[in-house]
């Protein structure tokens, strides 16, 4: 089965190496002082290195199924971007440790989860990867389009924007490889369900773990979460929800939303600030 072609689906994917300046000046609550916003991302950050390695392997396992040479090239670039993501996010672990957070038990539990998940059939692992990539691309769009991000600590803002832009760049790769491999709609949706439970479950568990270590009670955390939600454009939230539901359509394709130019413009803005 040939992958469905959409405008821009075979664009160049650039492997960047930002080498961001992680240092002790980054505060614990770097997301404009909001601990919930900071720890939602911190929790995701803890899952990225091992998760990215899982994604790379899931796509690489199906390279032989790809007839389109341009998609093969994108698959190689996808692996390159994800490998750099893993290394850069792992560098940030040392900042969290220096801040006093006990993150290693959580990281070990997640690594065990990935080892167990890696025993699933390869078709389901690729479907789970494609589903997770839809989440990261949709959340990447949210980060790029959200003006509240400009209030975050500059290094963390740069980390999120860089990662978000690359998720937008390669958002169709795992999906197109899945189509090239002839994986069924049923398997695609099962993979998406597993990705949803895994991503949201681990993000929530990690956020709770970090908030507990801060000594922030649930009532205060709930209030800070409501404060966070009130500051986000309702249309952006609605767009995010529509996009997450759109994956269930049989005729869905990640490039139905063309946000590549918007992503590159936001990255250029971050790079210009860093050069000042």
Query: Band of the pLDDT at 6, cuts 50, 70, 90?
Result: low
Q: pLDDT digits over 121-172, tens only?
A: 999 999 999 999 999 999 999 999 999 999 999 999 999 999 999 999 999 9
* Domain at 168, CATH number: 1.10.620
Give residue 8's pLDDT: 45
Residue 6 belongs to a domain: no
Give residue 130's pLDDT: 98
**Quick check: 75 and 177 in contact, CB under 8 A?**
yes
Residue 28 belongs to a domain: no
- Output the CA angle 121-123-129, nearest 5 degrees: 105
Give residue 240's pLDDT: 96
**Quick check: 49 and 87 in contact, CB under 8 A?**
yes
Residue 10 scores a pLDDT above 50 = yes
Residue 16 belongs to a domain: no
CA distances from 70 to 12, 14, 114 (A): 9, 14, 30
Q: pLDDT digits over 175-208, tens only?
A: 999 999 999 999 999 999 999 999 999 999 999 9
Q: pLDDT digits over 210-239, tens only?
A: 999 999 999 999 999 999 899 999 999 999
Sign of CA pseudo-dihedral 30, 88, 76, 70? positive
Residue 129 belongs to a domain: yes
Residue 231 belongs to a domain: yes
3-state SS, residue 33 = coil
What are 246-250's contacts with CB under 8 Å, separation 24+?
A: 247/131, 247/134, 247/192, 248/189, 248/192, 250/185
**Quick check: 232 and 117 in contact, CB under 8 A?**
no
| Mean pLDDT along residues 30-53 | 96
Residue 239 belongs to a domain: yes
Print the domain residue range for 72: 35-275
Give residue 11's pLDDT: 81
| Cα 235 to Cα 36: distance, rounded to the nearest angstrom | 21
Domain count, the chain: 1
Tell if the pTM clears 0.85, that is, is over it: yes
Residue 26 belongs to a domain: no
| Mean pLDDT along residues 88-109 | 96
Residue 53 scores a pLDDT above 90 = yes
Question: Where does residue 64 fall: left (phi above 0), alpha (psi -120 to 50 degrees), or beta otherwise?
Answer: alpha
Would you call 164 exposed, middle or buried from its count of C-beta atoms within 10 A (0-12, 13-18, 19+)? buried
Residue 10 belongs to a domain: no
Size (the chain), residues: 276
**Quick check: 8 and 74 in contact, CB under 8 A?**
no
| Cα 162 to Cα 137: distance, rounded to the nearest angstrom | 12
Mean pLDDT of the chain: 93
Give residue 7's pLDDT: 45
Question: What spatial distance separates the first Cα and last Cα of the chain, rounded to whole Å?
Answer: 49
Give residue 19's pLDDT: 85
- The whole-angstrom distance between residue 218's C-alpha and the CA centroid of its chain comes to 26
């Amino acid at each position: 089965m040939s992958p469905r072609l959409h405008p821009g689906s075979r664009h160049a994917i650039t492997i960047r190496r930002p080498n961001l300046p992680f240092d002790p000046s980054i505060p614990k609550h770097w997301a404009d002082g909001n601990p919930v916003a900071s720890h939602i991302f911190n929790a995701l950050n803890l899952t990225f290195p091992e998760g990215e390695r899982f994604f790379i392997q899931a796509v690489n396992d199906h390279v032989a199924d790809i007839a389109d040479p341009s998609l093969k090239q994108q698959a190689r670039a996808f692996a390159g971007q994800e490998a750099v993501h893993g290394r850069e996010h792992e560098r940030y672990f040392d900042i969290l440790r220096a801040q006093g957070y006990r993150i290693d038990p959580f990281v070990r539990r997640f690594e065990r989860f990935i080892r167990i998940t890696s025993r699933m059939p390869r078709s389901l692992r690729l479907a789970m990867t494609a589903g997770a990539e839809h989440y990261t691309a949709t959340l990447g769009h949210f980060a790029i389009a959200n003006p509240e991000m400009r209030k975050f600590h500059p290094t963390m803002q740069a980390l999120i924007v860089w990662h978000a832009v690359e998720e937008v760049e390669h958002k169709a790769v795992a999906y197109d490889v899945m189509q090239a491999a002839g994986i069924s709609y049923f398997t695609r949706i099962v993979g998406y369900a597993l990705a949803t439970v895994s991503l949201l479950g681990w993000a929530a568990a990690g956020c709770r773990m970090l908030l507990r270590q801060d000594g922030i009670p649930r009532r205060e955390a709930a209030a800070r979460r409501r404060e966070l939600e009130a500051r986000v454009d309702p249309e952006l939230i609605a767009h995010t929800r529509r996009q997450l539901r759109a994956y269930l359509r049989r005729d869905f394709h990640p490039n139905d939303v063309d946000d590549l130019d918007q992503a590159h413009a936001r990255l250029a803005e971050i790079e210009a600030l860093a050069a000042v």
